[in-house]
Amino acid sequence: MSITLGIYDFFSYIIPGFLYMYAFNEFLGALQWKHIDISSMISSGQTPSLIFLIPLIITAFIVGHIFDPVAHRFYDLINRFRHSESMSEKSLVSIKGRYPELNVQFRPMDWSTLFVLIRLRNLEVSKFIDKFNADAIMLRNIAFSFLLLSIDYLLGSLFNRLWYFLLVALLLIVLSVLARSRSNDFRLRFFKHIYRASLEYGLNLKEVIEYNKKENQQTQKLKKNSRLKS
């Protein structure tokens, strides 16, 4: 993976990581347990030192990675209850509808192999496609962290009888739904670009895999023909 994608991937987990940490801290505060009073730190004008900030960033990165599979399984479970198609299936249906004359024969489970082949054959295209997946991961985790924060504020409204917390919780739920919807959009684009880029090499997985073999055979034939002519 390139340095650019590495940095982008880093921030796709670190931003949700901070939100997860904030949600956990607010959960402790809602239960009136020991927690960090962030509002008092901000009002006092204290700025965190670099020695404190670097470990915090690393912790946020780790927390983001830990919670990512939890968020993924949570939303996957919701999709199963709703009996909705996966993003790979939806994108493939869209590609087949867009190019009906091509008779596209890819299957939804082919996307991972196709993406590996694209990465090997055209790194720049794979970088472009990977960006959509990174955006989808970031927004999925942001959606899940907003959902956890809404639970914190619901608990706060019940235990502390601060009823305006209920409005904040409702707002966070709306933001969670919007972030999840945007994540689905980026995930759909990710799969669409994989299938669209793979059409350059063939109409099914077998043709895409054997593309290099055919290309090598044609090159060898041209070389033989040029030798015979000379």
Residues 191 and 126 sit within 8 Å (Cβ to Cβ): no
Characterize 186-214 residue by residue with b for buried, 16 or more Cβ atoms within 10 angstroms of its Cβ, and e for exposed. bbbbbbbbbbbbbbebbeebeebeebeee
Helix (H) or strand (E) holding 52: helix 50-82
Tens digits of residue pLDDT in 78-101: 988 887 888 999 999 999 999 889
Query: In whole numbers, what is the pLDDT of the chain averaged over residues?
Result: 83
Tens digits of residue pLDDT in 16-49: 999 999 888 888 877 777 766 665 555 555 666 6
What span, in angstroms and rounded, lies between the C-alpha atoms of 228 and 33?
85
Output 169-177 pairs: Cβ under 8 A, ≥24 positions apart: 172/146, 172/147, 173/146, 173/147, 175/146, 176/143, 176/144, 176/146, 176/147, 176/150, 177/143
What span, in angstroms and rounded, lies between the C-alpha atoms of 138 and 132?
10
Query: What percent of the chain has a predicted confidence (pLDDT) above 90?
Result: 52
Its pTM stands at 0.81
What span, in angstroms and rounded, lies between the C-alpha atoms of 210 and 105?
15
In this structure, what DSSP letter does residue 33 have? -
Question: Which pLDDT belongs to residue 222?
Answer: 44
pLDDT tops 90 at residue 58: no
pLDDT tops 80 at residue 212: no
Specify the number of domains making up the chain. Answer: 1
**Neighbour tally for 108: CB within 10 Å:** 16
**Which amino acid is residue 76, in one-letter code?**
D
Question: Which pLDDT belongs to residue 143?
Answer: 96
**Neighbour tally for 35: CB within 10 Å:** 14
pLDDT tops 50 at residue 223: no
Question: Which pLDDT belongs to residue 152?
Answer: 86
What span, in angstroms and rounded, lies between the C-alpha atoms of 20 and 106?
38
Report residue 227's pLDDT band, with 50, 70 and 90 as the boundaries: very low
Structural domain of residue 133, as residue ranges? 3-229
Q: In angstroms, what CA-CA distances link 23 with 9, 50, 151, 175, 204?
A: 22, 23, 9, 15, 45
pLDDT tops 60 at residue 59: yes
Tens digits of residue pLDDT in 105-139: 999 999 999 999 999 999 999 999 999 999 999 99
Q: Which residues contact 175 (CB under 8 A, 6 or more apart)?
A: 146
Residue 6 zone, left/alpha/beta (φ > 0; ψ -120 to 50; rest) = alpha
Helix (H) or strand (E) holding 67: helix 50-82
What span, in angstroms and rounded, lies between the C-alpha atoms of 168 and 94?
38
Report residue 208's pLDDT band, with 50, 70 and 90 as the boundaries: very high
